[in-house]
Every structure is written in structure tokens, then in C-alpha cells.
Amino acid sequence: MAKAPKTAIEPTREQDYPEWFQQVIKAAELAELSPVRGCMVIKPWGYALWENIQQVLDRMFKETGHVNAYFPLFIPMSYLEKEAEHVEGFAKECAVVTHHRLEPSPDGGLQPAGKLEEPLIVRPTSETIIGEMFSRWVQSYRDLPILINQWANVVRWEMRTRMFLRTAEFLWQEGHTAHATEAEAREETETMLKVYADFAENWMAMPVIQGEKTEGERFPGAVATYCIEAMMQDRKALQAGTSHFLGQNFAKAQKIQYLSDQGEETYAWTTSWGVSTRLIGAMIMTHSDDDGLVLPPKLAPKHVVILPIYKDDSREAILNYCNEIAEALRKQLFANRTIEVEIDDRDLRGGEKVWQHIKKGVPIRLEIGPRDMEKDAVFMGRRDKGPKEKQTLSRSDFIDQAVSILEEMQDNLYQRALEFREDNTKTIEDKETFKAYFTPKNKKKPEIHGGFARAYYVDDPELETFLKELKVTIRCLPFEEETKPGRCFFTGKETSQVAIFAKAY
């Protein structure tokens, strides 16, 4: 067996959290940087995770009445101009197509040629182009609601990129809906936020706080933006999904009008909502440890890996035994799939293989050699326990319990993340405590700070400056808070508004 290092990932979370994150991605073979600035390659293990995310969300979207469609990658520049706040929000970071062919250049290479009459923007989001199509599709109140989702790639030319969290190109889904009434559109916005929260908590095992964004953090052009916010293991917040009530802003900009049942021309009410491959970043930072990726079993590309250990004379018998176990597992349903099993019979040292699967976050490992077979047993390692904490189970017990072990692991991950968030969330009533809470004790480790702060708050320009200096933002105005009045921690003014404050990704 290969000698395992003290931890499989170096540095550890405590030594250097941002670098640990990169190393987990590398060791799990989730993704890597491409030669194109800010764009990553999603490798098969990472893409399989995305496929599982897609499959579950897609079903949820369809169950809530949505259908998928596909709209152009390109948006004419003039479309972006139609909604003033929207263009303000996206003009500074978009890829612009200006030519439609290449021709030989004087230096023997190539140069752009065939200038377009109007530049095209690679979609950073599709409100404007989808709004244009909605305006063609909607004539009468009978054409509403339109409930559409698109799975697509989008591009935002971010200056500082980080794999999965902020890349120039990323994959996402964007829901776009149009409704006859404000109430319906608001209900849609809430429904989809709840779908996201449900997915985060019950599939990703990631507890989230649901709430509304403050004005400064709203989607450009929205009337209200709702979000789910999760705490990462460095106590920073990550916005994991957003749902926007767009009012009639885009309907007016795009002329999405319908004849009401009273015969009046009326603007529709629209919404949009999205989650992206950022969810994979959130999943990594919520659950993984110093030995690498830890996956919620419900989304793991594989649930069980079987590692046969044999010499030449025991090979066939061991492989047969492993296959029997695999077949018995593959007949069982866990969450929305049958249990996915891999038998890893590669010609590699056993220790190396075990560590590869630990780093990739496979929930259950079975090491099976002649002695296990003789005892009609399996030797099991669980990814939610230490790498050496393995146990022997009889084959039939393991097969009978496999689903409940996976369920237990899923629950454990959620509970652990919830406890971590609760342990690192503090209700704060005054400015000094707030400041101390968010000031790192050790300047070399700026990530070690308080966590989430819950505090009464009243909007104030001086508060904004104060927060900016601490690099803290208002993550959301949470839904679930009591509305008993209290005093703003900063201004001392009375208010019933509570906010969640945190440093954030």
C-alpha cells in the first residue's frame, strides 16, 4: 500500500483556504484552467456532477410548469441599450463580436475581417433577447403566462476569475417568465427561490438563508432580487442562486404587451432566475476536507467504488464476487437513480487507487480481497469518516444497508454544515462588536474572521463606507426573521429590519 501523506490535500484548509480550494479541484480532477483567459475546462468528473445537478433541477422546473427552449448566443448591441440599468450592469464585462471571418495578415498570420454592421454581444444573460421574442409571442392574455427555462453558456468578462466561482464563461440555467399580473409574477419569483432552496438543502446538503437583496445588490434592471446564501468553511458567504422580480421594466423596454380580457393594452410582468456551475464551487467549499472532495451522495457521479485486491490465482473469483456485489447494488434505488457502482480494476497500486477515490469524493469504498471473500464480507470506507476508519460488514448486511448508509451520509453532511453555520453566526447589537467580529485576528489569515452577523439595520451612507472598509456586505434581508423592532447596530435607529452581514465570494 502506498504510504498516505498526512493529508491528501496540501495546503490544508487552515494553512491556505483559497489554495486548498484549487488543490481539491485539481486532485479530484473536476476542472482545470484552459489557455483561454478566465475560461476553465470542466473535466469528466466535474461535468458528471453538473449533469446530476441539471437532471434534478430540470425535473423540478418541469414539475413547476416550465418548458425548455433555446435562444441565440449573440445579442445585438442595441438590445442591451434598451434597459438603462441593465446595460450599466453588463457593459463593462462583455465579449464583443465585431467581425465574421479571418483573412491572411501581412505578417503571415491571420487577422479579423468582414466587419459586422452592428457588434454582437456574447450573452451575459438573456433578458433582452428573450424579451424580444416574448414581445412577438404575447398578443393576448391567453398567451400568458410564458414559463421558459434555458440551459446555456454565458460570458462575463470578469477581471479576476476563480474556477467554478467566477469564470469568464460559465454554464447555467436561466428561467424567464412573463405573466399577466404582478401577483402572479411575484409568486413565480418566490416559487423558484423555494425550488433553489429545496435543491440546495435536500440535494446539495447545503443549508441556505433565503432573503431579499438590498437595492445596491439587485440584478441590474430588477425591482427585487431574492437569493439563497450559504456559508462556506472559511465562514464567507456564497450567493448560490437568485430569483428576480423584474416588474414591468423589461416588458416596457422590450414592449411585451398584451390585450387584457378587458380589451386593454397592458404590459406584462416578468421574472428571471438562475443558478450556475458556481453551485459546484459551493458544494466543494461546503463539504470537502483536507483529504479532498466530499460529495453529497445524492449528487455523486458514483456512489460506490469497489477495489478488488487479488493475486493471479484469486483474480477470477474476486472479480466475480465484486461483480455480484455490484449487481446487487445496481438494482437498488437511491434518490432519483439506481446506485452507481464502479469496479476499479486498473493496474495500479491499491493505495494509490484508494487515495484517488478519496480525493474524488466517492461516498463508499469497498476494498475486497481473498479474506473478505472467504468471510462473505466487505471492507468498507466511508468518505464522511476518516480515511483509516474502515469497517467490515457481512456482504448481505452491506447490501441491505447501502441505501440507508448513503442517506445517513447525506444527512450527516447537511447537519454538519448547518451546525458550522450556526456556530459561526452571531447576533450583533453594536458597532464595535461588529467591527471586532469581522476583523481577522491574524493578518496573514484574513479568512479567519467571525462569520455571519445578524443585526438590525437601517440604510445609511456612513454604514456603506463602514462596511466597505471591513469588506463586508449585506448578504440579504432574510425572510425567516422575527419582525420585533430593535435598534440598528450602526445608527442606533429603531427598525424591524434585520440583515445578514458577511464577507462574501
Interface residue with its own copies, options 11, 72, 446, 478 (CB under 8 A): 72
Interface residue with its own copies, options 8, 20, 56, 169 (CB under 8 A): 169
Contact (Cβ atoms closer than 8 angstroms) between residue 470 and residue 130: no
Asked whether position 486 contacts its own copies by CB under 8 A, the answer is no
Closest approach of its own copies to the CB of residue 163, in Å = 13
The string of DSSP codes covering 207-224 is --EEEE--GGGS-TT-SE
How many residues belong to the site for its own copies (CB under 8 A)?
63
Task: Report residue 54 as a C-alpha cell.
Answer: 441539471
- How far, rounded to the nearest angstrom, does the alpha carbon of residue 193 sit from its chain's CA centroid? 14
Smaller CB distance to its own copies: residue 112 or 485? 112
Smaller CB distance to its own copies: residue 350 or 370? 350
Closest approach of its own copies to the CB of residue 37, in Å = 9
Closest approach of its own copies to the CB of residue 158, in Å = 10
Contact (Cβ atoms closer than 8 angstroms) between residue 244 and residue 159: no
- Region from 72-80, 236-244, 389-397, 441-449 binding its own copies, contact rule CB under 8 A: 72-80
Of 54, 40, 24, 51, residue with least CA distance to 361: 24
Smaller CB distance to its own copies: residue 71 or 466? 71
Of 280, 282, 279, 275, residue with least CA distance to 236: 282
Asked whether position 255 contacts its own copies by CB under 8 A, the answer is no
Half-sphere exposure of 116 (CA within 13 A, CB side): 14
Asked whether position 423 contacts its own copies by CB under 8 A, the answer is no
Residues between 140 and 159 that touch its own copies (CB under 8 A) = 148, 152-153, 155, 157
Contact (Cβ atoms closer than 8 angstroms) between residue 157 and residue 95: yes
The three-class DSSP label of residue 187 is helix
Smaller CB distance to its own copies: residue 96 or 436? 96
Name, in order, each residue with C-beta under 8 angstroms of 94's C-beta and a sequence gap of 6 or more.
80, 121, 122, 124, 155, 156, 157
Asked whether position 2 contacts its own copies by CB under 8 A, the answer is no
**CA distances in angstroms from 273 to 44, 192, 196, 224, listed in the order given:** 27, 7, 10, 12
- Region from 73-81, 181-189, 405-413, 441-449 binding its own copies, contact rule CB under 8 A: 73-81
Interface residue with its own copies, options 44, 65, 440, 492 (CB under 8 A): 44
Half-sphere exposure of 472 (CA within 13 A, CB side): 25
Task: Report residue 463 as a C-alpha cell.
Answer: 454604514
Smaller CB distance to its own copies: residue 133 or 222? 133
Contact (Cβ atoms closer than 8 angstroms) between residue 434 and residue 428: yes
Between 437 and 476, how does the x/- string for binding to its own copies read (CB under 8 A)? ----------------------------------------
- Region from 29-37, 206-214, 265-273, 468-476 binding its own copies, contact rule CB under 8 A: 29-37
Between 80 and 119, how does the x/- string for binding to its own copies read (CB under 8 A)? xx-----x---xxxxxxxxxxxxx-----xxxx-x----x
CA dihedral 152, 155, 160, 161 (to 10 degrees): 30
Positions touching its own copies (CB under 8 A) are: 32, 34-36, 39-44, 46-48, 50-51, 67-81, 87, 91-103, 109-112, 114, 119-122, 129, 132-133, 148, 152-153, 155, 157, 169, 171
